[in-house]
Structure 1
Amino acid sequence: MGRNAARRAGSSSTTAASTDSVSNLASSLSAIATSNHSLLDSFNERQRGIDFKFYLAPHDYLLDLSNGRESTINAMNTIPQPIISSAIYQNHSHYNHLLTSLSTSSSILHLKQIHTQILRSGFDRSNSLLIKLVVSACTLSSPSLDYALSVFYQMQSPEPRLSNKLLRELSRSSKPEKALLAYAKMREQGLVIDSFSFPPLLKASMRVSRLIEGMELHGFALKMDFVSDPFVQTGLVAMYAACGHIGDARLVFDKMSNRDIVAWNTMVDGYCGSGLFSNVLPLIEEMKRSNIKPDQKIFSTVLSACGRAGNLEFGKAVHGFIVENKVVVDYNLRCALIIMYAGCGSMDVARSLYKELSPKNMVVSTAMITGYSNAGNVESGRLIFDQMAERDLVCWSAMISGYAEGGRPQDALRLFHKMLNSGVKPDQVTMLSVISACANLGALDHAFYIQSYIDENGFGGVLPVNNALIDMYAKCGDLERARGVFARMQRRNVITWSSMIGAYAVHGDAVKALELFRQMKTQKIKPNGVTFVGLLYACSHAGLVEEGEKLFASMVNDHDVIPKREHYGCMVDLYGRANLLRKALHVIEEMPMAPNIVIWGSLMAACRIYNEVELGEFAAKRVLELDPYHDGAHIVLSNIYAKEQKWGNVGEMRRLMQYKGVVKQRGCSRIELDGEIHEFLTADRDHDATDDIYAKLDEVVSELEVAGYAPNMGSVLVDLDEEEKTKALLWHSEKLALCYGLLKLKRGSCIRIIKNLRVCEDCHNFMKLASKVYEIRIVVRDRTRFHDYKDGSCSCKDYW
């Protein structure tokens, strides 16, 4: 069980076989079995350019170790000089050495050297090493089926027993399709095939979801009268289910005369893999009526599928079935229950079961870490992580991912370095989490380190990694490096193009985003929903209303992309920023799905900017209906009242917040200097250099006042006196971060700041003037976009 994890859900009927269905399947198989089209034909079509030649006594190419040249030696008739002394050949350790060499070989040339050693040794009478060699030759990055099968045909007796062993090995390998190709060549050579050949071939078809080849095997099994073999039948059930034809799988299953526990498990697994959970318990009831007692393994399979699908309701039903039928909950079944509940987010039940599990194991502990992380409780996940005696890569990756996705990027990066120091090497999944953490942190020095690690450790050519790097550099404020990654990529997919469009969008360069979209269409890359989110976002932040409207209309009309909630949200934001508030409201009213907090919040924020009190109140109340404790709605309502100088309403709103326990999110800004992250809160005095920072702030304010700076009191939306308002403005977190950067960096440097909230109008003007007076570039990433300040102006053109 568990071998069909990558199945696609089928659309076929899952009911018992009807007469018509049986007839239709039989007709199809008959046509396949009697047609001229064969497995060999189909594979030859796929393997164009490969010259298949087979020899009964082929030549082997051996490396002449004395001068590095290839010499051609007849491997069957000529005895080459030993490469390793004959005494070692008799040693069992040499056998293990050859076995290890086969598993680590990376070239045909090296395999041919090993082949010669095997032939000279004379102790591979069972042909087990040669079978391994054949499999290695088929599964190299540059494989040679020619050579592999020539070795196979050299064996003293390539009888069905050996050919079946080869097919089994290939079906379990990293390239199971080679089993199907080898089978086609064996038939061409007239090699005898028996009923034991079919289970591994069907397994290969299942693993690569090759329905046509699977049906051809079914037809040939019918022709050879092997179809009544229970192993063949079970393989057919698994193959059809894996290829998305669950109805045909059920037809074969219903025709089986002898259904053992493996056959029932396979059918259950097929339903689970197809997402047809409602068919599972009735099938288990039918199983009981057939006097086959469901074992713990079958329930473990069902529970694992529920966990992967997040189907808590059915998982609970299966758990109830286990209790009602007094099924013994052994160690493995308890593990399956924990993994299911953790996968479905029911952490209280998972925790109670986990406490009773002894001994704890790595798989279950990792599932608990992931479950806690998904539930937003990364601390509990870390507690389990720290208590684990052993940790594999999957466990490390789960914890790193938990931090990265849980808004704790610095912890994710620290743990990554700890993992490297412990000797565990990351894989692609780990690196994607690390890149995501760095992107969220916005730390460019960290980004450089990660890029260097990727290049040095072989991840540079991995498409998803490069796509993530584009996003990372964009979010770290280095658009040029993002563009560089994009330009160097040998392969690009829709995610690549969408990532680069999104990078331009978040940096406010709508012109280049739209130009890239035109190039994308020229390259015949079909855009998806994410592509249009980036495009609409770019139009929104550049005030390109007409262009945004055209793009939105083209989604359905030209590209068959159905707008989702996020696309309607972009249109609301587009109209809201352009002070087309009634149009924004119209979009919300006409949406085919219910608006969420983000959409109402977008309208609410636009109303605050343009002093639209009545509509702003309406939008804020919609937000509070969805989330009564939403701090943003309370703050915006308070700000709307403050702009109108309705201080009584402001006070009432503040009291309501206090009563509910709603606390305004505090402004927080980060700056990276020499690889170290420095964090500042509004009015922060906890930094080691606090006195110097505030002294520098006074100096900067004096310098900027000479250049025309005057605090924008309208940005302080509370009833304070002028002096208090000035302090409230000047102590914003991004100003403190800027002053610390000015203390540490030279003129002409670039100061990069990450802000958790939207930059206020006063800070925006402050940064523009500072960039001019101090001759520096200031890049600020706020909640929604980047602001690139240089020579007294901003990349947003004051439209944000």
Structure 2
Amino acid sequence: MPPAAATTRAAMPLPPPAISAGVAAASGGYSIASVIRALSVCTTIDQIKQIHAHIWRTKLDHRSYSLLFDLVLSYSSLSLSYAISVFSSMHSPPPSHLFNRLLRQLSRSGEPSSALLFYRRIRDAGGLLDEYSFPPLLKAAAKVSTLVEGMEIHGVAVKLGSVSDPFVETCLMGMYTSCDRVADARKVFDRMAHRDVVSWNAMIDGYCRRGILDEAFKLFEEMKNSNVMPDEIILCNIVSACGRVKNLNYSKAVHRFIIENKVKMDAYLLSALVTMYAGTGCMDMAQQLFAKMPERNLIVSTAMVSGFSRAGRIDDARAIFCQMEEKDLVCWSAMISGYAENDRPEEALRIFEEMLALGINPDQITMLSVISACANLGTMDKANSVHSCIDHYELGSELPINNALIDMYAKCGSLERARDVFEKMPRRNVTSWTSMINAFAMHGESTDALSLFARLKEEKIEPNGVTFLAVLYACNHAGFVEEGKMIFASMVDEYDIAPKHEHYGCMVDLLGRANRLREALDLIESMPMASNVIIWGSLMSACRIHDEFELGELAAKRVLDLEPRHGGALVILSNIYAREQRWDDARNIRQLMEEKGVVKDKGISQIDPNGKTREKHEQSDKIYSKLDSMRVYKWK
């Protein structure tokens, strides 16, 4: 029927069904047969409601209600609440195949809890459930994560003998997994007499969603050894899990299984493989698979940008980024983060400005990368602009943002702005305190750093290993040897924090600067773990400063044992030999450096003339020439 005709008919009242006079008199004017005939020709909701009214007024039996209920369910445009009201007005519940249809629709609706409420009405009305009733009920319980109702439905299924149905068992696993009872889901799985690919997928997916990835891998291996072949859905889950744990060897084994078994590479599986390799850092393989994709979606392209960035291939990341026709906030944030993490802060800020120009509003994750880039750049004008942007987008109340701002201002040279952010914070965590202590230490305000640490302890904030590192750094800068020793000891004695290489390195540097070199050596030898190049290098540098040649030689040799091409150690060792007039040894070291092409790395400083960051002044040659003319020697 054309739309216009359908509309016209919907507006017309439905005529009373034709009935015989005898039957009409016996039934108040309407017979069951005539009502059933009228229902069978209904084509609109208004007509159904008219028949419903007739049935209610004439009190016809449940057969009319059952047909009405069936017809109501066939109209998807009719509200589910009306179907429930029809059910409630029935003298006796309809057959299970009818209310099972409503259970399925309610379970799939935006309010799955209504399926559980309808289940209560069915039970109260004496309705008989069957094996087809339980899957939609268990799916509804899973969606709202209601364990109590789910377990009750499980009990009813056991009582009615439906629990051994594979569909019911699979839905039970989904319900228990959604309610964070993965062990109970596994019990259901282990008791299953027959496990099809759907059952295996339900259990593997449950492990993956709950982050129990080792068990997911074990179950996948068990499945491969059974007679059930994993499908694309299971393989997508396993491939995604491989990317999360970043286990490249197992990732390659799964990929090899897919190839050997000639699994069809659909778009989802191919995307998962690209994301997996990008997540594990195998960018060459990720790029090969990415090139094979006929259509590249936003998610997989963003994964490639992030993967290349983490691998240090930032130009490749930018190439993918520029090829993308569609970019969302996540993609822009990945590109900004990539530049920030690869020590290219100016490009990070430039990309951020492009994003804002397109009208894309940043979130907390974006701004954290921008703040990091600004901190690495170290310029106050950029810092002020970034802070203004944070206020504009109302992100200034976020705790991680404020913690990052403290670090940014400290690195940009404004201790007062860092302190202002800290004092105005509505709430603070240990990272906030640590950032401020580190800011004081960075600016040589060691006394303020120790005072803030004491205030932290007064406010019952539990310091962590990073906090102690910041405090020891402050002691190091000021030469507070005794304070540093007490703080170092309190890590273990008061807070049960095991010192790491960084803490030992800070203490060795502190003792070395104070010319307590033997004490520094004793500390190194007492370490529960092997020392590293940095720690021996700190002792070596202290020995050079304090003309302790014998111990300096020992430290330099330890450095070279760990890193044979360490230019600084070779230079210091050569100088020690020269000072001791051991010319042959000095000559051998220099010759060794020439043979291996070892040179001592030169230091680099950044300057910010006229708001533009440079590593070399544009007139540096003239400056050095002027210094030469003044007979002032420059450092090489």
TM range, normalised to the smaller chain?
A: 0.7 to 0.9
The equivalent position to 1:219 in structure 2, one of 136, 151, 158, is 151
Asked if structure 2 preserves the Cα contact closer than 8 Å seen for 1:513 and 1:535, the reply is: yes
The equivalent position to 1:422 in structure 2, one of 335, 338, 358, is 358
Q: Which residue of 1 aligns with 2:374?
A: 438
Q: Which residue of 2 aligns with 1:310?
A: 246
Asked if structure 2 preserves the Cα contact closer than 8 Å seen for 1:400 and 1:416, the reply is: yes
The equivalent position to 2:560 in structure 1, one of 605, 621, 624, is 624
Secondary structure, aligned partner of 1:669: coil
Opposite residue 518 of structure 2, the aligned amino acid is: R
Secondary structure, aligned partner of 2:401: helix
The equivalent position to 1:202 in structure 2, one of 118, 129, 142, is 142
Asked if structure 1 preserves the Cα contact closer than 8 Å seen for 2:475 and 2:510, the reply is: yes
Q: Which residue of 1 aligns with 2:110?
A: 169
Secondary structure, aligned partner of 2:606: strand
CA distance in 2 between partners of 1:202 and 1:523 (Å)? 43
Q: Which residue of 2 aligns with 1:481?
A: 417
Secondary structure, aligned partner of 2:494: helix
CA distance in 1 between partners of 2:142 and 2:243 (Å)? 27
The percent identity for this pair of structures is 52
Distance 1:622 1:370, change over 3 A: farther
The equivalent position to 2:462 in structure 1, one of 526, 545, 568, is 526
Structure 2 stretches lacking a partner, 5+ long = 1-75, 89-98
CA distance in 1 between partners of 2:476 and 2:614 (Å)? 32
Asked if structure 2 preserves the Cα contact closer than 8 Å seen for 1:540 and 1:548, the reply is: yes
Q: Which residue of 1 aligns with 2:187?
A: 251
Distance 1:623 1:234, change over 3 A: farther
Opposite residue 497 of structure 1, the aligned amino acid is: W
CA distance in 1 between partners of 2:111 and 2:509 (Å)? 55
Opposite residue 479 of structure 2, the aligned amino acid is: G
The equivalent position to 1:403 in structure 2, one of 315, 339, 345, is 339
Opposite residue 615 of structure 1, the aligned amino acid is: L
Asked if structure 2 preserves the Cα contact closer than 8 Å seen for 1:299 and 1:333, the reply is: yes
Secondary structure, aligned partner of 2:157: coil
Asked if structure 1 preserves the Cα contact closer than 8 Å seen for 2:217 and 2:238, the reply is: no
Structure with higher RCO (Cα < 8 A, 6+ apart): 1
Opposite residue 307 of structure 2, the aligned amino acid is: G
Secondary structure, aligned partner of 1:670: coil
Opposite residue 425 of structure 1, the aligned amino acid is: N
Secondary structure, aligned partner of 1:679: coil
Question: How do 1:593-742 residues align onto structure 2 when only pairs under 5 Å count?
Answer: 593-638=529-574, 640=576, 652-680=588-616, 687=618, 691=622, 693=623, 726-729=632-635
Secondary structure, aligned partner of 1:459: coil
Q: Which residue of 2 aligns with 1:569?
A: 505
Asked if structure 1 preserves the Cα contact closer than 8 Å seen for 2:107 and 2:139, the reply is: no
Question: How do 1:339-354 residues align onto structure 2 when only pairs under 5 Å count?
Answer: 339-354=275-290
Q: Which residue of 2 aligns with 1:133?
A: none
Opposite residue 267 of structure 1, the aligned amino acid is: M
CA distance in 2 between partners of 1:185 and 1:503 (Å)? 61
Question: Is 1:589 aligned to residue 529 of structure 2?
Answer: no
Deviations 1:223-262 (CA, angstroms, capped at 9, x unpaired): 4438837677546545655777543332132234564534
Offset, 1:340: 1.6
Distance 1:517 1:325, change over 3 A: same
Asked if structure 1 preserves the Cα contact closer than 8 Å seen for 2:624 and 2:634, the reply is: no
Offset, 1:551: 2.0
Deviations 1:359-386 (CA, angstroms, capped at 9, x unpaired): 3443233222222222222232223323
The equivalent position to 1:511 in structure 2, one of 447, 459, 484, is 447
Offset, 1:490: 0.9
CA distance in 2 between partners of 1:580 and 1:232 (Å)? 74
Offset, 1:465: 0.9
Deviations 1:438-470 (CA, angstroms, capped at 9, x unpaired): 111211111111000000011111111111111
Question: Is 1:374 aligned to residue 374 of structure 2?
Answer: no
Secondary structure, aligned partner of 2:547: coil
Distance 1:588 1:203, change over 3 A: farther
CA distance in 1 between partners of 2:443 and 2:124 (Å)? 65
Deviations 1:683-722 (CA, angstroms, capped at 9, x unpaired): x6xx15864x5688699x8xxxxxxxxxxxxxxxxxxxxx
Distance 1:511 1:339, change over 3 A: same
CA distance in 2 between partners of 1:560 and 1:168 (Å)? 53
Asked if structure 2 preserves the Cα contact closer than 8 Å seen for 1:202 and 1:217, the reply is: no
Asked if structure 2 preserves the Cα contact closer than 8 Å seen for 1:168 and 1:200, the reply is: no
Asked if structure 1 preserves the Cα contact closer than 8 Å seen for 2:361 and 2:393, the reply is: no
- Say which is worse superposed, 415-424 or 425-434, in terms of deviation: 415-424
Offset, 1:642: 6.5
Q: Which residue of 2 aligns with 1:542?
A: 478
Asked if structure 2 preserves the Cα contact closer than 8 Å seen for 1:167 and 1:197, the reply is: no
Deviations 1:632-672 (CA, angstroms, capped at 9, x unpaired): 43444455556668777666545433433334333322223
Asked if structure 1 preserves the Cα contact closer than 8 Å seen for 2:524 and 2:531, the reply is: yes
Distance 1:478 1:322, change over 3 A: same
Distance 1:613 1:670, change over 3 A: same
Asked if structure 1 preserves the Cα contact closer than 8 Å seen for 2:143 and 2:178, the reply is: no
CA distance in 1 between partners of 2:576 and 2:119 (Å)? 80
CA distance in 2 between partners of 1:665 and 1:373 (Å)? 26
User: Is the radius of gyration larger for structure 1 or structure 2?
Assistant: 2
CA distance in 2 between partners of 1:170 and 1:577 (Å)? 68
Asked if structure 1 preserves the Cα contact closer than 8 Å seen for 2:103 and 2:118, the reply is: no
Asked if structure 2 preserves the Cα contact closer than 8 Å seen for 1:164 and 1:197, the reply is: no
Higher helix share: 2
Distance 1:186 1:271, change over 3 A: closer
CA distance in 1 between partners of 2:428 and 2:111 (Å)? 31
Structure 1 stretches lacking a partner, 5+ long = 1-123, 129-151, 172-178, 206-212, 702-722, 733-800
Report how many aligned residue pairs link the two structures: 538
Secondary structure, aligned partner of 1:453: helix
Offset, 1:404: 1.1
Opposite residue 404 of structure 1, the aligned amino acid is: A
Asked if structure 2 preserves the Cα contact closer than 8 Å seen for 1:277 and 1:314, the reply is: no
Distance 1:625 1:391, change over 3 A: farther
CA distance in 2 between partners of 1:370 and 1:264 (Å)? 32
Offset, 1:183: 7.7
Opposite residue 727 of structure 1, the aligned amino acid is: Y
Higher strand share: 1
Opposite residue 256 of structure 2, the aligned amino acid is: G
Root mean square deviation, CA, Å: 3.9
Asked if structure 1 preserves the Cα contact closer than 8 Å seen for 2:154 and 2:172, the reply is: no
Distance 1:198 1:418, change over 3 A: same
Deviations 1:489-510 (CA, angstroms, capped at 9, x unpaired): 1121121122112212222223
CA distance in 1 between partners of 2:278 and 2:250 (Å)? 14
CA distance in 1 between partners of 2:441 and 2:214 (Å)? 45
Offset, 1:342: 1.9
Secondary structure, aligned partner of 1:402: helix
Offset, 1:312: 1.2
The equivalent position to 1:329 in structure 2, one of 244, 265, 287, is 265
Q: Which residue of 2 aligns with 1:738?
A: none
Question: How do 1:388-399 residues align onto structure 2 when only pairs under 5 Å count?
Answer: 388-399=324-335
